[in-house]
Structure 1
Amino acid sequence: MSPSADISQKILFVDDEILLLKSIKRQFRREFDITVAESGAAGLAALTEQGPFAVVVSDYNMPGMDGVQFLNAVYRRQPESVLVMLTGRADLDLAIEALHNAHISRFLNKPCPKQILQDTLSDGLEQYRLRMSERLLQAQLQQANQELNLLNNRLEILVAEKTRALQLQYRHVANLARMTHSHTVIAALIAAVTELTRIESMSLWLSPHLDHRFTRHHPMSPEPAQCDLSACPPGLMANILQNKQIWLHQPASRLPIGDFDQRFFPGPPLMSVPLHSKKGLLGLLNLAGEPKAFSADILDALAGIVDVTTTALQSHWHREAFEEAQDAIITALAKLSEYRDPETGAHLLRLKKYCGLICRALANNPAYRENVTPEFTEDLIRSSPLHDIGKVGIPDAILKKPGRLTAEEFEIMKNHAAIGGDTLRAVYDQYPSQSFIQCGMDVAYCHHEKWNGSGYPQGLKGDAIPLAARILALVDVYDAL
């Protein structure tokens, strides 16, 4: 069965504005298979009766069940669907809620231009296809592995080779499911192909934007190796690009291999495996060495490993782009205080840099190594801009006062720590899986505590002050010097 077989192409659009639903269905009648519903309840009924839906788009401001409640209900019933929020509201609460709702893939303002909505729906269908293809491939591998165990002992040698290839393929898929960054996916691909083919000399060229401009990601070098294949001269690489399948060197081949072709291989060209996505050529994995024969099972497993890795790479690149956008929104929200405290904006960016430097130094100190993990460092860097978010609750007359604050004014100013901490606690209670929000809550509450207990708001002392808040307090004071 093809990984793309029986994958839904249907889109569910939920909005309480009937005229808008009719307009959307009319505008996209040729491009998409769209089902519409006028409420969250009607949308859930459509999900049950007509699903599955690849993409679900919902308005936020609907009577009864709002958009966030509806999309969360969709996620519980059909977690593979790509969820999109469409709304005319732009308040801070909605932005924070949508930002930390990990199930929502895209957030669009209303009214949304037709082209943006069309691109979003097309991207959503592709993202859904990638999710389902990976799921189907894992099921195929499990079934194949079970069937192999029933083969006759007389096929022991053949089964051993096939089993090794399939087990490696399945193990690679399982490893990919635990990966958190695209660079670890690349490393896993190199390791799996090395183990499968027993070839160590290889190079990996990737074109994330599918524009035929390739960068070498393995082996890495101080100066990144790049090459444009949009105007490829006749020869080996042109043949590989044209055939779109695994190329294996044959001793009797008369295919010319020129200097341009050779630069893509770390030695004598042996094999080239293209990484194809639905939209184009994403990469090339090139092996080098003396001519060697590979069994059909090895080549099939190699193709499977490359296919699932291509899907995983696209998924991680999409997620990493989303997280970069998420960090930008967090910083933007934190910069709300910049409009009331002109020194805040650049200060936030410096704090992120200083926090990273201190965490990397502490990670090498035996006394802190256990606590200052890469996850802790990432959480602190991401949440540090939120430490003074409570200043939005301080009156301008105090926040912008040029001179020294009175004792009464200082007491009011001190409230910003509790305001910020309470705000982030409310968010964390809703989204406890977001560890960086908990870190942000710690630094918001405690970045004015002092080691000797003379700080505020709780008068914490020594190790009772969270480590994240101690680091933030240090860099905050350092930046102010």
Structure 2
Amino acid sequence: MSEKILCVDDDANILAAYERNLRKRFAIHTALDGEEALKTIQSNGPFAVVVADMKMPGMNGIELLTKVESLAPDTVRLMLTGNADQVTAVEAINKGHIFRFLNKPCSPETLTAALEAGLKQHRLITAERELLENTLSGSVKILTEILSMVEPQIFGRSQMLRDYARTVGPALKIEHVWEVEVAAMLSQIGYVTIPATIIQKERANLTLTAPEKQMLTRVPEIGSKLLTNIPRLENVSRIVLYQNKYFDGSGLPQDSIAGEALPLGSRMLRLLSDLISLEIAGTPKAEGLDQMRRRSGAYDPRVIDAARVTLIEDAQKSGQAVGVKDLCLGQVLLSPVQTLDGVLILSAGTVISPMLLEKLKNFAEMSGVKEPIYVKK
């Protein structure tokens, strides 16, 4: 009985009857009101099924189950009520997305059958979610591996972009930061369709023909199309599509989308990608962000502020600035480590091991490493 069921009713006698009649078949938990139920879900969840009485003091059953849906979307919700009117039933189903609506008094046999059906529904929901998550993680893994093999230099930049997005995202209160992280990692996946000769010409700043330029400008669009049909990557696809669009509406694609209508993830990637380009060219982060603020309208001011706080101020407060020669085994990097020409060596969050320390020393000797390096104190 690993799947738990929460029964909510303001009548203690009814709850006692639930426990007495159902405990041999189900793992039953109880709560006397909506507030207690929500606390129980947070402290003892997840629950496969929540059964709530409609009429309770304070928070009624519809209000409770609506909050349960927000707090635990996979939980199946059942409603018990003495009000057999159609309006209550419709409201319960529409607002709380109730799986089943039962009239009181409800016999133990009827309730047992409803709970069995609820558990079956919960298993279907979780099985589908797990399938989607496995499909998602597998698809992302394959695509990132393809990019790393076909264009390792572009892949390295994508990793740095992901690290910055992971740091800045929480400061902007983005609900699903993972979507922006995945968008950062796959932002350049469209390059796998571009001939290597054209990429080499672009990298060497050689003159490109009009068709070659057109091909390169379509990289975000191509990447977006590659991602569209992967389950749960619809938002990621849109972030990738608009990554080259500025806050004022300039850039690509050429459409009417601008300002707050742009995905917040796209606004983040645009700023962070330009910041990385400035860093590669030798511009310090603080100076780069100042330059961006002076480009009136080009960047979302909230993203600039969040980047300054998280990438500069927080790193300086919580971290210790060291050189390569001062790094110690076991230290955790707070920021990416790059060569002087901007090639990513190690990502933020990496723990310094003997092998990685030796690797950094070799890079410092051969091509130089940007210092200081910020590590956790």
Q: Aligning the two structures, in what range does the TM-score lie when normalised by the shorter sequence?
A: 0.3 to 0.5
Q: What's the TM-score, normalizing by structure 1?
A: 0.32
TM-score of the superposed pair, with normalisation by structure 2: 0.39
Which has the higher relative contact order, 1 or 2, with Cα contacts under 8 A spaced 6 or more apart? 2
